[in-house]
Amino acid sequence: MDAIPKLVATSVVRGSQKGQSHGGVYLIDFASQRVEQKIDWNRGEIDFTGRGWDRGLRGIEFTEDAIWIAASDELFCYSPTFELLGSYRNAYLRHCHEICRRDDLLFLTSTGFDSILAFDLRSKDYVWGVYVSKNGAEWVGQPFDPRTKGGPNFVNSYHLNSVRVDTDGVSFSGLNTKALLALSAEMTVSEICSLPKGCHNAMPFADGVIFNDTASDMVRYVSRSAPQVAVPVPTFPPQELEYQGVDDSRIARQGFGRGLCPLSDHLVATGSSPSTVSIVDIVKGQRLTAVNLTMDIRNAIHGLECWPAGWD
């Protein structure tokens, strides 16, 4: 098997109560089979009324000398040794899921506002946003300035939960978009391809798209030139699971697939609950190895990225 880089993962604990941990940050070294928890997330002002809501830590990105991690409504900056360097809020950042960096801009999904925000890493400010909606069959992007009060209302119709930026531009999707969408430089929105409802982490990969088909407990690769590949999310015997039945919303369940990080042209790291990170050959359709962080059924992987080389 190919060498696996060290990974960093964030988690969300669904159904946790005040005084309990509701997520954390972990370093995972498959070579040494070692897991280190770097942050235990427990803040008293968290909104505990929903299933995931404000709990836990979400998307992860890196600059040359810092780690950027999103919470529900706040962006945190840490040193490579996880010392808190700063935090940044915005009135239009709510229920953030994933983030992605391109040059000096950090793109964030503002799930509660059906929007994508851009954070300037030089000025340390949210510099623009685009509200996504649909007019009949046509997707619409409406730019706004997140520094003013003229932005969108809190709606969460499409539950935008993933954003990816590469040389081809910005792509994003949500639980209810039923499509992978593209954002142009002119802030127009178009459809790249269709997706099943209930997806996380959809992104272009090779000549197709990969995503967590969370509703079907699968990670999928859909290629333009080869048959579709689907790999089941790992599950465990029910008697081994902890905290079953404590989440009144009945959303905390095992097999909830979220978190996806390409490692090569055929290997991807995937996350699931109870917090487990798997290495999958997405071309051959095989799960090669996995590490389980906890058997707490409420604890689900959220963000998943490669740890920068040279930071060890």
Please report which confidence band the pLDDT of residue 308 belongs to, taking 50, 70 and 90 as the band edges: very high
On whether residue 33 sits in a domain, the answer given is yes
Tally of structural domains, the chain: 1
Q: Which residues contact 19 (CB under 8 A, 6 or more apart)?
A: 42
Domain around 173: 7-306
Q: How large is the average pLDDT for residues 259-277?
A: 96
298: β partners: none
How far is residue 249 from each of residues 61, 116, 186, 245, measured CA to CA in Å?
31, 28, 40, 9
Dihedral Cα 42, 46, 52, 55, nearest 10 deg = -30
On whether residue 28 sits in a domain, the answer given is yes
pTM over 0.95: no
Compute the C-alpha angle 33/257/196, nearest 5°.
Answer: 150
Whether residue 21 has pLDDT greater than 70: no
CA-closest candidate to residue 25, choices 293, 309, 237, 308: 293
CATH number, domain at 190? 2.120.10.30
62: β partners: 67
Q: How large is the average pLDDT for residues 290-310?
A: 92
Distance CA 53, CA 222 (A): 30
Asked if 143 contacts 118 with a C-beta cutoff of 8 angstroms, the reply is no
Residue with tokens 């906890």: 294
Residues 73-116 have pLDDT tens digits of: 999 999 999 999 999 999 999 999 999 999 999 999 999 999 99
Please report which confidence band the pLDDT of residue 45 belongs to, taking 50, 70 and 90 as the band edges: very low
User: What would the two tokens of residue 232 be?
Assistant: 């089941």
On whether residue 32 sits in a domain, the answer given is yes
On whether residue 282 sits in a domain, the answer given is yes
Q: How large is the average pLDDT for residues 22-40?
A: 89
On whether residue 237 sits in a domain, the answer given is yes
On whether residue 312 sits in a domain, the answer given is no
Q: Which residues contact 231 (CB under 8 A, 6 or more apart)?
A: 218, 219, 220, 270, 280, 282, 285, 286, 287
Asked if 168 contacts 192 with a C-beta cutoff of 8 angstroms, the reply is no
pLDDT of residue 252: 67
Residues 190-246 have pLDDT tens digits of: 999 999 999 999 999 999 999 999 999 999 999 999 899 999 999 999 999 987 765
Q: Which residues contact 252 (CB under 8 A, 6 or more apart)?
A: 14, 15, 51, 243, 246, 273, 297, 298, 300
On whether residue 29 sits in a domain, the answer given is yes
